[in-house]
Amino acid sequence: MTLFANIDAARGEALRHQLLTLLPDQSVVLAGENFDPADVSYILTWKIPENLAQYTALKIVFSIGAGVDQFLGETLPDGVRLVRLVDPGLTAMMQEYVTMGVLALHRDLPAYLAQRQTETWAQVAVPPAASQRRVGVMGLGELGKGALEALKPLGFSLSGWARSAHQIDGVTCYHGAEGLKDFLAVTDILVCLLPLTLQTEGLLNGNLFAQLPKGAALVHAGRGKQLHHEDLLAALDNGQLRAAVIDVTDPEPLPAGHKFWSDQRILLTPHIACITRIDMVVPAIVANLQNHRNNKALQGEVELSRGY
């Protein structure tokens, strides 16, 4: 039962070395090596490799990232399972990024950075106490729950929204279409960590922004296709939003001359909220390989009909 690591050579070699240290009887092959596709039971990849039908013994496709929207629309053979990466290291990185973004918006960092251009030394505003700032997280999976946990010690008033109902200590939770309006109405800083699905594509648009309190702000670290760029710029121009921290866009990278590059109300980062490191990937893969061998549930298995 061979694992095919369909990643670059340097990371592939590191992965093979670390994986075989923990699971010595697991065969691992890399892209460019000679191997029989019929021996491959597992594929670790970012995208579906070409000629997938040749992997006749394939049982599991492991995504090397936490997201799986790149697999949406792909057809996996019957019985093949798709598993996204669930790892404490990725959660910790997202906690860092969301905390950074929320604090930057809470303390008006984009406006102060803009003042450097004109050498202006002036107070932008007196920020409310953290307890008076309402932060809402869209998406209550591992990353969303982790982000909320990281924000708790800072004293913000916290809420969360997801498609289905959740209960989280210290967080007011909303769910479904009927709960979205109420959630948005009490959110001063909106954090989007939703997976990309047919339902969430284009969700961050003018209609949604209009349901936030006047002068709200956005941290977007979900998926690029969820954000309508022109609607965000319009909301910034009319004062409905005052600033945004954006980590994901569509396309990536942004083309030269795109308005996000120069808009001083936007803090732009190049999709770095979570960066997959091999030392984070291996333990999660080993755990799931052992789970599969022992007929146990796979952590991070994707329900293909839902897209996450």
Active-site residue set? 223, 271
Euclidean distance between CA atoms 224 and 228, whole angstroms = 9
CB 248, CB 191: distance < 8 Å? no
How many Cβ atoms are within 10 Å of 38's Cβ, its own excluded? 11
29 alpha carbon, distance to own chain's centre? 28
Structure tokens at 188: 């001063």
CB 226, CB 199: distance < 8 Å? no
Q: Judging by DSSP bridges, how do beta strands 2-6 and 134-138 pair with one another? A: unpaired
Angle between helices 88-106 and 278-293 (to 10 degrees): 130
SS3 state at 203: coil
Q: Rounded to 5 degrees, what are φ and ψ at 158? A: -110, 140
The helix or strand, by DSSP H or E, that contains position 206, with its residue range, turns out to be helix 206-210
Structure tokens at 234: 């319009």
Structure tokens at 253: 């990278």
Secondary structure of 34-88 as H, E, C letters: CCCHHHEEEEEECCCCCCHHHCCCCCEEEECCCCCHHHCCCCCCCCCEEECCCCH
